[in-house]
Amino acid sequence: MSTLHEECGVFGVFSQTRRPVAALTYYGLFALQHRGQESCGIVVGDDGLFRDHKDVGLVGQVFSPAVLNDLGSGTMAVGHVRYSTTGGDGRLNAQPIVVNHNKGRMALAHNGNLTNAYELRTQLEMTGSIFHTTSDTEVISYIITKERLTAPSIERAVDRAMDTLQGAYSLVIMSPAKLLAARDPFGLRPLCYGVTEDGTYVVASESCALDAVGAKFVRDVMPGEILVFEQEGVRSLSRHCGTRPHSVCVFEYLYFARPDSIIDGASVHAARLQAGRFLAQEHPVEADVVIGVPDSGLDAAMGYAEASGIPYRMGFIKNKYIARTFIQPDQSDRESKVKLKLNPIQAVVKDKRVVLVDDSIVRGTTSGQIVHLLRLAGAKEVHMMSSAPAFLNPCYYGVDVDSKENLIAVKYSVEEIARHIGADSLGYLSVEHACQIAVSGNAGGFCTACFSGEYPAGVPKYDRKSRFEQKLSERQKEEDEAQ
């Protein structure tokens, strides 16, 4: 039950013939909803015309049947779900963004975060460019547009732009006639594609979205690769492939991605089971029952149970109605929401020594409340296990990790945290084991920066601690005073 937020999920469709691509994208975005719940959007490409709809809200709220009907059929579509990290207007920053330029139009959906967005934006502004949003996605579209002035094709423009763009990006781009999928050379964020029985190509952040639309998984987009979907079929541009060490975000396996997805060849579900098994090796305890925090802690809890031989049980009932409609009517009782969301099953935990597995511990507040609920339900001992290593560093590649002062592991030792959350003992998965969970995969390596502090793709030059938007806002403040 983490409070970390992935910023985005992307989706794209390319068909040789006119099809209800808006509906297809709607289904795909539903399957990617966990990657972003603030806003979403779909752009349909229909014989060179673009029709789009974006708004703040969940996929099912933003896209009514009437809206989907208006978006209609076409040969291509790009979709996006977003969790906004900025305080700004969520609607303004909703994606995909659509821009009109010298050679026509372009729709662009982006998952990730540039590390040189600030420098690029400043350079663009020096030549008279204007910006409507605070998002680095607008920077990407400018860079591609500039290259497009001289590049012979949209894919060549993207290829050249990748010489300039730094950081994490999985992109789906639609021109009037082509659909592109591009992934940064480190492969920090996932991206894959598949094909349906009738030959429609589908690109998605995760394979679970391919399943949702009945598309067969073909393969992951390789780090640094650009795929071009066009009337003639699929082409690959691979000039940037292999130029950087493969560094897919390990937290995708541990928390963000859906367990039924396969990322860079490794099953997310299997990775979580394995994380639980490693946890049992690293932190063996004598206990009567292993329970997980629903839903994302359940897989690792099963892995722990399997490796330890301690029985696995359902320890909590989760109120499924809370998630989307609950608004706390008063502020008097800060624990209420966790209490309403999770109710321990007394029959399972009463008078028992309990191993409690959660996906991560960020601030420690939620963990403390959950341990407290178990104590009230009669648990004799509570041994907390985090299937993610301890968070110690910010992420510059597209995850909204809490600011350093809020990360409990930065301030306290493991023993202190255990005491703080009221657990009898506490264990984190080690970074070493975290890098071994995706055993069956073809991933060459992982980004573990938030745990280890080693940033494969570097950190923003101007400001290691703050974010792109904060930088922008400071600069504007200075300029305002100067003006």
Task: Pick one of 324, 419, 461, 464: the residue that binds its own copies (CB under 8 A).
Answer: 324
Minimum separation from the CB atom of position 109 to its own copies (A) = 15
Q: Where are the beta strands (DSSP E) in 254-411?
A: 262-263, 266-267, 289-292, 316-318, 342-344, 353-358, 381-386
- CA-closest candidate to residue 397, choices 7, 4, 12: 7
Least distance to its own copies from the beta carbon of 32, Å? Answer: 10
- Determine how β-strand 39-46 pairs with β-strand 74-82: antiparallel
CA atoms within 13 A on the CB side of 100: 3
Q: Kindly identify the residues of this chain, within the stretch 170-229, that bind its own copies according to CB under 8 A.
A: 175-177, 208, 211-212, 214
Instruction: Say if residue 232 is exposed, middle or buried (CB neighbours under 10 Å; 0-12, 13-18, 19+).
Output: exposed
User: Which C-beta is closer to its own copies: that of 208 or that of 354?
Assistant: 208
By beta-carbon proximity to its own copies, the closer residue of 135 and 247 is: 135
In sequence order, what are the beta bridge partners of 174? 107, 179
Residue 472, classed as helix, strand or coil, is helix
- In whole angstroms, what is the distance from residue 221 CA to residue 332 CA? 49
Interface segment toward its own copies; rule CB under 8 A; list 322-330, 391-399, 415-423, 455-463: 322-330
Q: How far apart (Å, rounded) are the C-alpha atoms in residues 191 and 431?
A: 24
Least distance from its own copies to the Cβ atom of residue 332, Å: 8
- Residues numbered 399 to 428 that lie near its own copies (CB under 8 A) are none
Closest separation between CB of residue 260 and its own copies, Å? 4
CB of 7 to its own copies, least distance (A): 17
Whole-number Cα distances in Å, 6 to 312, 355, 470: 29, 28, 19
Q: What Å distances lie between residue 274 and 242, 289, 427, CA to CA?
A: 28, 19, 15
Name which of 46 and 400 has its Cβ closer to its own copies: 46
Considering 8, 249, 447, 450, which one is annotated as catalytic?
A: 8
Q: Shortest gap between Cβ of 320 and its own copies (angstroms)?
A: 6
Among 97, 182, 310, 449, binds its own copies (CB under 8 A): 97
Binding to its own copies by CB under 8 A, coded x per residue (else -) over 120-159, reads: -----xxxxxxxx-x------xx--xx-xx----x-----
Q: Whose CA is closest to 253, among 438, 77, 120, 430? A: 438
- Taking residue 441's Cβ as centre, other Cβ atoms within 10 Å add up to 19
Structure tokens at 328: 């706390």
Nearer of residues 333 and 454 to its own copies, judged by Cβ: 333
Residue 218 or 414: which CB sits closer to its own copies?
A: 218
Binding to its own copies in span 17-76, by CB under 8 A: 20, 22-23, 26-27, 30-31, 33-34, 37, 47-49, 52, 58-61, 63-65, 68-69
- Cβ at position 390, least distance to its own copies in Å: 26
Rounded Cα distance, 385 and 283, in Å = 8
Q: Based on CB atoms, which residue is closest to its own copies, 131 or 419?
A: 131
Q: How far is CA 401 from the centre of its chain?
A: 12
**Cis geometry, peptide bond prior to residue 211 (ω within 30 degrees of 0):** no
Helix axes 117-126, 136-148, angle to 10 degrees: 50
Q: What is the DSSP letter of 312?
A: B
Q: How far is the CB of 467 from its own copies (least distance, A)?
A: 16
Least gap, CB of 469 to its own copies (angstroms): 11
- CB burial of residue 239 (10 Å; 0-12, 13-18, 19+): middle
In the chain, the amino acid numbered 119 is E
* Backbone angles phi and psi of 51, in degrees to 5: -120, 130
Exposed / middle / buried, residue 21 (Cβ in 10 Å: 0-12, 13-18, 19+): buried
Q: Which of residues 218-277 bind its own copies (CB under 8 A)?
A: 258-260, 262, 267, 269-270
One residue of 17, 309, 327, 351 binding its own copies per CB under 8 A: 327
Report 337-356 residues binding its own copies (CB under 8 A).
Answer: 339-340, 343-348
Nearer to its own copies, 16 or 129 (CB): 129
| 8 among known catalytic residues | yes
CB atoms within 10 A of CB 3: 13
Nearer to its own copies, 103 or 363 (CB): 103
**Does the footprint of its own copies cover residue 99 (CB under 8 A)?**
yes
Which helix (H) or strand (E) segment holds residue 172: the answer is strand 167-174
Nearer to its own copies, 101 or 375 (CB): 101
Show the tokens assigned to 430: 């080690």
**Count of residues near its own copies by CB under 8 A:** 101
For the segment 423-462, give every residue that binds its own copies (CB under 8 A): none
Site string for its own copies, 361-400 (x = CB under 8 A): ----------------------------------------
Please identify every residue annotated as catalytic. 8
